[in-house]
Amino acid sequence: MLVFDYGLGTGSNSENDEGLNVDGNPIDDPPNTFPIVFGLFRLNEKIYRKVNKSLFIGGGINFDFHNNIRDEKLDVDSGRLTPHYIYSIENGINPKQYFSNGITFNIQYNTKEHGNRSYGGMYADLVLRANQKFLGSTLNALQLITEFRKYWSLSSRNPENVIAIWHLGTFNLAGTVPYLDLPGTGLDLYNRSGRGYTIGRFRGPSYFYLESEYRFPISRNKLLSGVTFLNVQTASDGKNINLFDQLEPGAGAGLRILFSKTSRTNICIDYAVGRYGSHGLFFGLNEVF
């Protein structure tokens, strides 16, 4: 795999135009970035017990293994170091490979009225993750991971008119997480967050993301609909930049093409812009959240 790293925390290390990306992947090599090539093995499993109609409690296990990591711009002999290399050495991590293996405790609350394209209800997920050396993790770490989604239909006649909000958060409570396992832009399960920026554009030990979206029908038969959205994100760097010191906004609009009224399956086509000249096209199946 290949990622373009920009260093830790929110803010820019360059005033240059970062250019166009497609689904979070830059078309050209962005200026002042640090490309990282690596192999990845990931296994995440969760088991829930139903408490009532909407509440679930459970646990899980996570194995994340990065290997054959290569910093494309790293040259130790000439003193040209990369953020990934510096972070790894400072924390006693082998910059060529590392493990983040842990156990989780999960609480989930779900009242969404539909799985693919909800017109109402909410979804909340709270996870406490503990990476442990006895499970093979390179270092111990404790993280609080949060997700929240809420949907409001604005019309009983046209329930597709919806305002929705989405929050993602990962907060470092103790210990150290290896660099490529740190949370950041587009690093959610389906790489859907942070429209307007490249995947991994902002990352850090703690990360906070918030997005709002307005969804509305365009054609009478509901085949075509549209969305407008705003998002904001912030990340710490573990040293000088704290969470919420620097907020990075994004905004955009898109089309939805409906495949099935029963399953509410649709194709997403979005265009979004961010700061530092960043902008992109984003495609997907079903709603972003």
Residues 6+ apart with CB under 8 A from 277: 16, 17, 18, 19
Do 81 and 89 meet the contact criterion of CB atoms below 8 Å apart? Answer: no
Summarised one tens digit per residue, pLDDT across range 73-95 is 999 999 899 999 999 999 999 99
Q: 2-285: which CATH topology?
A: Porin (2.40.160)
Summarised one tens digit per residue, pLDDT across range 136-185 is 999 999 999 999 999 999 998 899 999 999 999 999 999 999 999 999 99
**Structure tokens given for 44:** 């995440």
Whole-number Å distance between alpha carbons of 90 and 73:
19
Q: What are the structural domain ranges in the chain?
A: 2-285
pTM of the model: 0.94
**Structure tokens given for 69:** 């990591």
